[in-house]
């Protein structure tokens, strides 16, 4: 049962009126008008900034590939290239377009990409758009599931650790976080396969469906997703645990939280409605900064578990110097990083209106 001082304190909170971005709201309503104008301007600035970034990144891919000692013609021809005449190799080089200067190759690819044609993959023997389209959905499913798990579990463990600093739970959680931080994702994946698939036999070792299945079903996909998603989530977990622990721990010592305790609010209310809300603000920056490592970790986890994402295509494109596929995958990863940073700034601006959307 709620005490009288606690009811009075909560009533005082709901009567507060705040003015955010020129919009008056009552805390009792729990709603405020979103600052669409500043948000749209931020998105526009980031879109303009993304253009030179993508141009530079894609040109860098072609430059690195041109400087690579690997010959894309020999990689494309395979064993047939060992007995092919020089004339045939030159003709194949012309057909693949790798006989042109670096700038010409990049400009041809760029102008075609702007018209929706990403070219043809020399390693996968299919259009680049089809190759990415067949695989990107599974990669997004894996990465999104793992990221949500990492945020939820990491936040919960961070709050529990911050509740009693220096206690046994705090020491145990932080020690586990630092240990997992040093563990590479592929090692965690191999360990998970050995334990859960080989020793216990409770989960499949890899793939998208069972080997005996001829159709892709939601149940089988979910069953095969558990291990790779859990491993990828565990690889991202330490940063969320440590950030939430630090943020909530600092918030518990702030004046507003001490004032909430002095007003007689329950400890759970103080922790979840005051300290946790303030302590989560620094965590929002992780949404953008973790995207590059999330992509890298997803590629490693996909390889370990034979998950049908873009990992195999990325490796083949790199080893065979597949210019169109390499450029498209790199541009896609760059867009993902830029969108992650944009999302982090938007969330931070919404969570703390004092920051605004001027970034």
Task: Write out the H or E segment, with its range, that includes residue 18.
Answer: strand 17-20
What is the pLDDT at residue 28?
42
In DSSP terms, 19 is beta-bridged to 24
Average of per-residue pLDDT values in the chain: 78
Measured distance CA(101)–CA(284) in Å, rounded: 44
pLDDT of residue 357: 66
Structural domains in the chain?
A: 37-351 (1.10.3720.10)
In terms of Cα–Cα distance, which of 105, 118, 188 is closest to 146?
Answer: 188
Pick the range with the lowest mean pLDDT from 25-29, 204-208, 300-304, 332-336: 25-29
Pairwise CA distance, residues 146 & 237, whole Å: 9
Q: Report which DSSP code applies to 308.
A: S
Nearest to 144 by CA among 348, 303, 340: 340
- Output the pLDDT for position 14: 41
pLDDT of 288 > 80? The answer is no
Is the predicted pLDDT of residue 238 greater than 80, yes or no?
yes
* Spatial CB neighbours of 29, under 8 Å, sequence gap ≥ 6: none
Express as a percent the part of the chain with pLDDT over 70.
82
Token code pair at residue 164: 């009693």
Residue 145: CB partners within 8 Å, gap ≥ 6?
225, 229, 233
- Is a pLDDT exceeding 60 seen at residue 31? no
Q: Would you say residue 2 has pLDDT above 70?
A: no
Q: How confident is the model at residue 76 (pLDDT cuts 50, 70, 90)?
A: low
Closest CA to 112 of 127, 99, 102: 127
101 HSE (CA, 13 A, CB side):
3
Q: CA 224, CA 94: separation in Å to the nearest integer?
A: 43
Q: Which residue has the higher pLDDT, 289 or 16?
A: 289
Higher pLDDT: 29 or 164? It is 164
Contact 241, 170 (CB under 8 A): no
pLDDT (average), residues 14-19: 38
């Amino acid at each position: 049962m709620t005490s009288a001082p606690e009811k009075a304190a909560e009533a005082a909170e709901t009567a507060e009126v705040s003015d955010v971005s020129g919009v008056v709201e009552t805390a009792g309503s729990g709603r405020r008008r979103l600052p669409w104008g500043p948000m749209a301007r931020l998105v526009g600035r980031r879109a303009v900034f993304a253009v030179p970034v993508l141009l530079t990144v894609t040109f860098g891919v072609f430059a690195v590939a041109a400087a690579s000692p690997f010959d894309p013609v020999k990689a494309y021809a395979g064993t047939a290239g060992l007995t092919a005449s020089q004339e045939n190799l030159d003709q194949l080089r012309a057909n693949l377009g790798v006989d042109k200067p670096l700038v010409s190759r990049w400009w041809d690819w760029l102008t075609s990409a702007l018209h929706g044609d990403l070219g043809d993959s020399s390693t996968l023997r299919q259009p680049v758009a089809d190759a990415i389209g067949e695989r990107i959905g599974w990669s997004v499913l894996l990465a999104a599931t793992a990221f949500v798990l990492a945020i939820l579990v990491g936040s919960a463990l961070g709050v529990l650790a911050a509740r009693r600093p220096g206690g046994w739970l705090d020491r145990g959680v932080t020690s586990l976080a630092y240990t997992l931080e040093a563990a590479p994702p592929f090692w965690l994946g191999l360990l998970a396969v050995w334990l859960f698939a080989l020793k216990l036999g409770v989960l499949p070792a890899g793939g998208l469906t069972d080997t005996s299945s001829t159709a892709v079903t939601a149940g089988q996909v979910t069953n095969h997703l558990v291990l790779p998603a859990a491993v990828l989530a565990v690889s991202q977990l330490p940063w969320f645990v440590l950030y939430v622990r630090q943020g909530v721990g600092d918030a518990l010592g702030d004046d507003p939280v001490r004032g909430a305790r002095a007003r007689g609010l329950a400890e759970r209310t103080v922790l979840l409605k005051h300290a946790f809300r303030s302590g989560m603000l620094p965590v929002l920056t992780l949404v953008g900064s973790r995207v590059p490592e999330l992509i890298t970790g997803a590629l490693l986890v996909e390889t370990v578990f034979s998950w049908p994402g873009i990992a195999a295509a990325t490796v083949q494109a790199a080893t065979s110097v597949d210019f169109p596929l390499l450029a498209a995958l790199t541009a896609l990863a760059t867009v993902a990083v830029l969108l992650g940073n944009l999302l982090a700034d938007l969330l931070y601006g919404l969570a703390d209106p004092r920051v605004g959307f001027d970034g």
